[in-house]
Amino acid sequence: MTLLALANELLLLIAETLESEKDINAVVQTNHRLYALLNPYLYQHNRRHSGSSALRWAATAGQVSTVRRILEQKYEIESRSAKVQLDCEHLMIVANLVDSINQPIENLN
């Protein structure tokens, strides 16, 4: 039996045994099915164990699509200050602005 023959629930249990985000990410990048299934878990793991460092990295690096994916995961930012939450709200504004800049003028409302 191959790994991909396993049910999604078992694949999630396997991912939960991995402690390193690097290891989880390696599995996530294996194929489309594992990406769709485990990428939300990777972001969740990052939030719980690494203080949302992926969100900070993506914002700093200008990775708008990554910021959007993280925030779409309904991230509950566990911040040490209200400033982090405010920054996240600003990130969504920036992401929307970048999207509007990339649209042809006739598509803007």
Cβ contacts of 71 within 8 Å, gap of 6 or more? 55, 88, 91, 92, 95
Residues 99 and 76 in one domain: yes
Do 77 and 103 sit in the same domain of this protein? yes
Distance between CA atoms of residues 9 and 19, nearest Å: 18
Both tokens assigned to 43: 């972001």
Structure tokens at 9: 């629930």
Residue-level pLDDT at 104: 56
Give CA 7 to chain center in angstroms: 23
Same domain, residue pair 85 and 34? no
Question: Could you tell me the pTM of the whole model?
Answer: 0.66
- How many independent structural domains does the chain possess? 2
Bigger pLDDT: 100 or 107?
100
Considering the chain, what percentage of its residues have pLDDT values greater than 90? 39
The per-residue pLDDT for range 52-104, each reduced to its tens digit, is 899 889 888 888 888 888 887 754 444 444 444 545 556 666 666 666 655 55
Q: Which residue pairs from 25-33 have beta carbons closer than 8 angstroms and sit at least 24 positions apart in sequence?
A: 31/4, 33/4
Residue 57's domain comprises 53-109
Q: Which residue has the higher pLDDT, 105 or 72?
A: 72
